[in-house]
Amino acid sequence: MLSTKIEGISWIITLDRDRRIIRDGTIIIEDGKISGIGVSDEFRSAKADIVINGKGKLVAPGFVDCHAHLSYGHSMRGLISDTTPHPEYLRRVFRFQSSMKPEEEYHTTLLAITELLKNGCTSLLEPGLVNDVNSVVKAVTATGIRAVIGRSFADMENSIGMHQTETGEAIRQTRQILTSYGRNRKRVRAWIMPFSPDCCSDEFLRSAAELAERHDAAITTHCSRRRESAGLQITRLGSAGALGERMLLAHPIFADDRELELIASTHTRAVFCPSSSTKSSGPGAAGVVPKMLNRGITVGLGSDSASSSCHLDMIRSMHLLSMLSTDVRQGSPAPPPDRVLEMGTVFGARALRMENEVGSLSTGKSADLLIFNTVTPQWTALFNPVSSLINSSDGRSIERVMIAGETVVENGHVTAIDESELCTKVQEIGESVAGRLGISPQGMWPED
């Protein structure tokens, strides 16, 4: 593999152990890993096959999205009104999602990853609302992004319209996915995904914990997203022995104080999705974040789906969290921008059990990095790069994205994808699925 030298970088936000911010820095990449990083003077004589001029650029670690539904959101974006109440909203989502064919899931996933990559996400977790896991893996592989994949199962009757699978069959299929896409794959790894404690039996939850240990994998589940689940769902996960370092709780907004202590004491991880949580869980949703961080809980961020969050841009998600937190506290932001950036990078990497590979820029880590052009109105004047990144920029200022030293976005475009062709295809898919199901968009003004 060709070596790369990015030299004379105006700013490097490393997120390394010392949280160094380097002025006039250089990064050397060999065999997909960072072999050198520091001030440019240290690397004047270093040679490389590819040399990139870093003047006027800011380099940061690739973002880690801990909850990004890929396979259906872009095909149904805007199709269900934002005002549809829970659980009817979810029933409509599941009806659309469950009727998608493998080829439709493949193209929709490809477009979701395209949006994520352009906005700087280099690692993600896909939470498993998919019919054909192979289609998702095929799209992940085609783009080069790092992904945790799996398939969500519910083995109990439920009010949200999630398909019910017999317990033994859910375990059998999960085991098969773990075996097919286990930890030895290059950029794809499989996790166990019971959809929610509300619709999964104790037997399934216990088996999930056992499978996670046996396959050196982990579990993610949706929980405590509604006020009525406070004190119930996370407590139940604890009773089933499913909490711990191998559990990532998706949007546990209404965890009560006792459950927060349980999460902290078991070293369970959590992911907060600022945009979709604000939309669907009501005011004050972000209030749980400082409570978790204060207890030392690892909290990553997620952009959820194109149908619930409406965008897959981690910078917009980080900015929203920063603003919401300021609003909740009615004053100084808690968490502040530097902590929010940690959530989108190093904390996310820890939540996905990838902290030894990605999430920060230091020698030996994978060269998953973003190059921003700072000679733009968004970034000027530039004195505090962390604040400017979170509060002033967005994904459009990302010029280049590298994963394991390979350029996957160049001049703002995903190198492996014909974007306009793909967008046309996904529009057709959305219209086709909506047509099959007899769904029309709601909530617009009358046409006449």
Residue whose CB is less far from Zn ion, 122 or 221: 221
Alpha-helical regions (H) of 181-287: 202-214, 233-239, 257-265, 274-280
Find all residues with CB under 8 Å of 178, minimum gap 6, and list them.
Answer: 190, 192, 211, 215, 217
The CB-of-127 to Zn ion minimum distance in angstroms stands at 4
Residue whose CB is less far from Zn ion, 71 or 174: 71
The CB-of-196 to Zn ion minimum distance in angstroms stands at 9
Q: Is 62 in the site for Zn ion (CB under 5 A)?
A: no
Residue whose CB is less far from Zn ion, 177 or 408: 177
H or E element, residue 107: helix 102-118
Provide the residue count of the chain.
448
Residue whose CB is less far from Zn ion, 127 or 395: 127
The CB-of-419 to Zn ion minimum distance in angstroms stands at 25
Residue whose CB is less far from Zn ion, 160 or 409: 160
**Listed residue (14, 33, 16) closest to 404, CA to CA:** 33
Mask of contacts with Zn ion, 77-116, x by CB under 5 A?
----------------------------------------
DSSP β-ladder status, 247-250 and 219-222: parallel
Return the bridge partners of 199, or none: none
The CB-of-307 to Zn ion minimum distance in angstroms stands at 11
**CA–CA dist 231, 259 (Å, integer):** 7
The CB-of-446 to Zn ion minimum distance in angstroms stands at 33
Residue whose CB is less far from Zn ion, 67 or 316: 67
DSSP β-ladder status, 299-301 and 269-272: parallel
The CB-of-403 to Zn ion minimum distance in angstroms stands at 24
Site for Zn ion in 22-51 (CB under 5 A): none
Contact yes or no for 194/221 (Cβ under 8 A): yes
Residue whose CB is less far from Zn ion, 127 or 430: 127
Site for Zn ion in 406-445 (CB under 5 A): none
**CA–CA dist 186, 193 (Å, integer):** 21
Radius of gyration of the chain (CA): 21
For 225, the 3-state DSSP assignment is coil
377: tokens are: 């109105």
The CB-of-448 to Zn ion minimum distance in angstroms stands at 38
Residue whose CB is less far from Zn ion, 286 or 371: 286
Nearest residue to Zn ion, using CB? 127
The CB-of-304 to Zn ion minimum distance in angstroms stands at 6
Return the bridge partners of 400, or none: 371, 410
Site for Zn ion in 112-131 (CB under 5 A): 127
Give the count of residues interacting with Zn ion (CB under 5 A): 1
Find all residues with CB under 8 Å of 264, minimum gap 6, and list them.
Answer: 292, 295, 296, 297
Site for Zn ion in 122-181 (CB under 5 A): 127
Contact yes or no for 136/124 (Cβ under 8 A): no
Find all residues with CB under 8 Å of 77, minimum gap 6, and list them.
Answer: 306, 307, 310, 430
Residue whose CB is less far from Zn ion, 222 or 400: 222
The CB-of-177 to Zn ion minimum distance in angstroms stands at 17
H or E element, residue 51: strand 50-53
Q: Which residues bind Zn ion (CB under 5 A)?
A: 127
